[in-house]
Structure 1
Amino acid sequence: MAVSSFASVPDTAHYWLANARIPLALLTRDGAPSDPIPWLAAAPQSEDLVAVNIEIKGGAIATLTPASLHVPEGAAACDLHQGLVWPCFVDIHTHLDKSHTWHRTANPSGTFEQALKQIDIDRIKYWRSEDLYRRMEFALKCAYAHGTRALRTHLDALDDQAEISFSVFRTLRQEWAGRLELQAASLLPIEAFETDQVSALADLVAESSGILGAVAYPNPNLDQQLDQLFQLAQTRGLDLDLHVDENLNPAAMALRHVAQAKLRNGYSGTVVCGHCCSLSVQSWEVAAETIRWVKKADIGVISLPMCNLFLQDRQIGRMPRRRGVTLLPELKAQGVPVAFSSDNTRDVFYAYGDLDGLEVFTQAVRIGQLDRPIGDWPQAVTATPAAMMGLKTPGTLAVGQPADLVCFKARTFNELLSRPQCDRIVLRQGKAIDTTLPDYVELDDLLDR
């Protein structure tokens, strides 16, 4: 075979990725994890990694063979030297409209309460079409270069902002078609669903092929508000994506109310709930009862560990003791789908981040102690959010699927999670893309620098 180095994927429509390692949890046959690959049991494994050669032909995965077999004589190949290969990332919970605003509107205290006030200031002063477009596009370029193939953003949707933001989103979705599959969910307080404006908003979301969303938290009229939300979604055929219980109040059980509302209204669409922080401070008896309702209602949970760690239990001059990350192993053990996502990026809610799926996974594993073993947690940034978003490509590796892959020099999970992996190769339909990240200087004029 004609072998290229790790950093040089053959520039041809037909080649092999030789001597690769794939996480077992991400390897399927015909898209069905229960359908075993005949040679799989005989392949050398470490940390639930499978040694394979990957044939790429016409932009898709044509063959998966044991790495112990030789690549055909004369075939173009890139020897990965046992490097890991993942499917591209799926980032299901982001806020592109807020992204990259930190340098013009910061959060001096770092608290959730001040973040809410500061983002209102930034939105009123700056959020016009050009400002939104440029910051959102910058964020998309970051995500794409890191190896993301699909992304959902929440868009603040109060009053006239909804039309402006969804218009910009529709433009970006069209321009990025074929590179990033984009979805948008509306974001506004649950109390808005007691007003007349939400009907027009639901129509706008439907016209934009979007997802209906809201911020749900305890209040005296929560059940009535949720009923209105579910009914609007049902009549328009919209899925739901909610921010739920983003606080450390043990009495906050909006998540349970959401599950009960879905069942009560006979809602047939997909529902996912982000954050669910209050579960982490409740007694196990209370949390377990909520988890049972969530499972019964077939609701997925999205954890945003980096943003929750940044905001929750923050008091100036005191070490945070309650970190706000939801009950990841407990939810998963009860059969609740759990995904990890980026959330905010360089704004008042989270001052850092770059929409890198690997960073999200790395931090989630460390924060949640999800190793020993890692098991199928890699699905939380690939297959699980892909299913939640209803994507046609399932977020696993199988023959016949598009060769949308991220190749790392790291040979084990330990190596993968120990360095940023800045030298990764990202393949889209089998072709290596430019992974150069956009320069922050591009936004200087927007940020008054």
Structure 2
Amino acid sequence: MTTGFAAIPDAADYLLRNARVPACLIDAATVASDADGFALTDIAVTGGRLASLLPAGTDSLPDGGAVLDLDRGIVLPRLVDVHTHLDKGHIWPRQPNPDGTFAGALSAVGADREANWSAEDLRSRMAFGLRCAQAHGTAAIRTHLDSIGAQIGISWPVFAEMRAEWRGRIALQATPLFGVELVADAAHMAVIVDAVTRHGDGLLGCVTYMIPELDAALDTLFSTAIAHGFDLDFHVDETNDPAARSLEHIADAALRHRFGGRILAGHCCSLALQAPQDEARIVAKVREAGIAVVSLPMCNMYLQDRSRGRTPRWRGVTALHELRAAGVPAMIASDNTRDPFYAYGDLDLVEVLREGTRILQLDHCESDWVRAITREPAAVMGLDGAGTLAPGGPADMILTRARSWTEFFARPQADRTVLVAGRAIDRTLPDYRDLDHLMSSRA
């Protein structure tokens, strides 16, 4: 079999034989997994939906359908990216990070936002990022939107336009991003609530760090979320300072308010640097509070513990294994792409899983970490049926030639095939030159 969209049968009904699918991603009682966690499966597609997923060799060919033998190639559902920054994406050529540090990133992004983030600029860069994500096989994205001052009135309407334009291709959600100290500003919070209500998806959040007013700010955020029926999404403790424990304060606030909505905490880098007894206490509270955690392995490895002329001593990621062992939903995501917070990246979750496996050592343990870019983020985003393959569900899949995880991770799977509603899409990536007209301005 050759790969590429031309290899998919040009028919409404067809059968994909001998697909190796992670059993943890199949919602069907008719398949069993092997020692590596895969189920050898025949997948019948009818009218753009999954008619059946049956053990390989079962006679499940739709009447008059065509057959494609995948030769035990790994098949995944389209993927779910729960933590991104579409509004920052691809500004590196005009505003690079001067030294690769977190402080350098903050300064550079702030300058670029002030000088360049018009509606046209945002729309062009966000569309470019979404074209990349679609080509790589992403089904859903949650983006943080810098929500400070006049930028709120620019970014949120543009996001709403993009969500409508991309409906049916990529499901989009947005959550506000601003420093926790601004929660005390009632006027700012009123504008945020209005933006989320008019243009958003019922999500509220901010960046948390250890300020004296942290608990009061969290009480305001939780009370606001409860009053409006919002879920919460935080940037948390993105530092190598063990004294940064705002994750514990968020868990305490969630328990204090008996919060019943979804909570996602991103980064949580300093959790990995706590003394064992402190880490265990915080993880237990996070589990009790119902908080999910997303690690951003590529971006945090780029930023954390960076000092000119000194080799970094740690990987910058959170205690993801310990969180998962305690029953906390644990996932990974893309984060930034070609901006001062991360100079690289392409919203490719296959790359994120491959690099996350190496950085976080997700191998030689449970075989179902692929849930971290499928089922787990889909649940946090409230996307029923996303990140799984189930009879009756959409025939949205990624087909690869890799037959095992070692083959899958050894190469970038650049020849993968992406199906949307049973049809292979054109995976041609946009040319960076498409953004050249935006790069002449520089703060």
- How high is the TM-score relative to the length of structure 1? 0.95
Q: Is the 8 A contact 2:17 2:67 kept in 1?
A: yes
Q: Distance in 2 between matches of 1:254 and 1:326?
A: 14
Deviations 1:69-100 (Å, cap 9, x if unpaired)? Answer: 35649630121111110010000000001000
Q: Distance in 2 between matches of 1:62 and 1:330?
A: 38
Q: Distance in 2 between matches of 1:6 and 1:121?
A: 44
Q: Is the 8 A contact 1:97 1:156 kept in 2?
A: yes
Counterpart position of 2:274: 282
Q: Distance in 2 between matches of 1:74 and 1:132?
A: 47
Q: Is the 8 A contact 2:264 2:293 kept in 1?
A: yes
Once the two structures are overlaid, the 10-residue window that deviates more, 340-349 or 64-73, is 64-73
Counterpart position of 1:81: 71
Q: Is the 8 A contact 1:101 1:346 kept in 2?
A: yes
Counterpart position of 2:368: 376
Q: Distance in 2 between matches of 1:382 and 1:327?
A: 20
Deviations 1:378-424 (Å, cap 9, x if unpaired)? Answer: 10000000000001224111211111100011111110001010110
Percent of aligned pairs with the same amino acid: 48
Counterpart position of 2:57: 68
Deviations 1:150-185 (Å, cap 9, x if unpaired)? Answer: 000000000110110001100101110110100000
User: What is the Cα deviation at residue 373 of structure 1?
Assistant: 3.6
Q: Is the 8 A contact 2:398 2:417 kept in 1?
A: yes
User: What is the Cα deviation at residue 108 of structure 1?
Assistant: 2.1
Q: Distance in 2 between matches of 1:132 and 1:371?
A: 38
Q: Distance in 2 between matches of 1:426 and 1:383?
A: 18
Q: Distance in 2 between matches of 1:46 and 1:335?
A: 23
Q: Is the 8 A contact 2:47 2:422 kept in 1?
A: yes
Structure 1 segment 349-428 matched on structure 2, within 5 A: 349-428=341-420
Matched, 1:28 2:27: yes
Q: Is the 8 A contact 1:312 1:323 kept in 2?
A: yes
User: What is the Cα deviation at residue 209 of structure 1?
Assistant: 3.0
Q: Distance in 1 between matches of 2:404 and 2:268?
A: 31
Q: Is the 8 A contact 1:25 1:375 kept in 2?
A: no
Once the two structures are overlaid, the 10-residue window that deviates more, 362-371 or 379-388, is 362-371
Matched, 1:225 2:214: no
Structure 1 segment 152-301 matched on structure 2, within 5 A: 152-196=142-186, 197-210=188-201, 211-301=203-293
Q: Classify the secondary structure of the residue corresponding to 1:224.
A: helix
Q: Classify the secondary structure of the residue corresponding to 1:444.
A: helix
User: What is the Cα deviation at residue 213 of structure 1?
Assistant: 1.5
User: What is the Cα deviation at residue 27 of structure 1?
Assistant: 1.5
Q: Is the 8 A contact 2:175 2:200 kept in 1?
A: no
Counterpart position of 2:335: 343
Counterpart position of 1:321: 313
User: What is the Cα deviation at residue 46 of structure 1?
Assistant: 5.1
Deviations 1:320-344 (Å, cap 9, x if unpaired)? Answer: 0022200111000000001110000
Matched, 1:56 2:45: yes
Counterpart position of 2:82: 92
Q: Distance in 2 between matches of 1:15 and 1:49?
A: 22
Counterpart position of 2:427: 435
Matched, 1:10 2:48: no
Given the superposition, is the C-alpha separation of residues 115 and 5 from structure 1 closer, same or farther in structure 2, using an over 3 Å criterion?
Answer: closer
Q: Is the 8 A contact 1:206 1:238 kept in 2?
A: no
Amino acid at match of 1:304: L
User: What is the Cα deviation at residue 6 of structure 1?
Assistant: 4.0
Q: Distance in 2 between matches of 1:56 and 1:185?
A: 35
Amino acid at match of 2:54: T
User: What is the Cα deviation at residue 132 of structure 1?
Assistant: 0.5
The gaps in structure 1 that reach 5 residues or longer are 30-35
Amino acid at match of 2:160: R
Q: Distance in 2 between matches of 1:91 and 1:304?
A: 11
Q: Distance in 2 between matches of 1:141 and 1:182?
A: 13
Q: Is the 8 A contact 1:6 1:78 kept in 2?
A: no
Given the superposition, is the C-alpha separation of residues 374 and 438 from structure 1 closer, same or farther in structure 2, using an over 3 Å criterion?
Answer: farther
User: What is the Cα deviation at residue 110 of structure 1?
Assistant: 0.1
Q: Is the 8 A contact 1:91 1:385 kept in 2?
A: yes
306, 309, 325: which one aligns with 2:298: 306
Q: Is the 8 A contact 2:204 2:232 kept in 1?
A: yes
Counterpart position of 2:97: 107
User: What is the Cα deviation at residue 313 of structure 1?
Assistant: 0.3
Q: Is the 8 A contact 2:37 2:368 kept in 1?
A: no
Q: Distance in 2 between matches of 1:190 and 1:373?
A: 37
133, 145, 149: which one aligns with 2:139: 149
Q: Is the 8 A contact 1:18 1:71 kept in 2?
A: no
Q: Distance in 1 between matches of 2:434 and 2:3?
A: 31
Amino acid at match of 1:205: V
Counterpart position of 2:106: 116
Counterpart position of 1:32: none
Q: Classify the secondary structure of the residue corresponding to 1:170.
A: helix
Q: Distance in 2 between matches of 1:71 and 1:194?
A: 61
Q: Classify the secondary structure of the residue corresponding to 1:186.
A: strand
Q: Distance in 2 between matches of 1:168 and 1:11?
A: 36
Amino acid at match of 1:60: R
Aligned-residue Cα RMSD (Å) equals 1.4
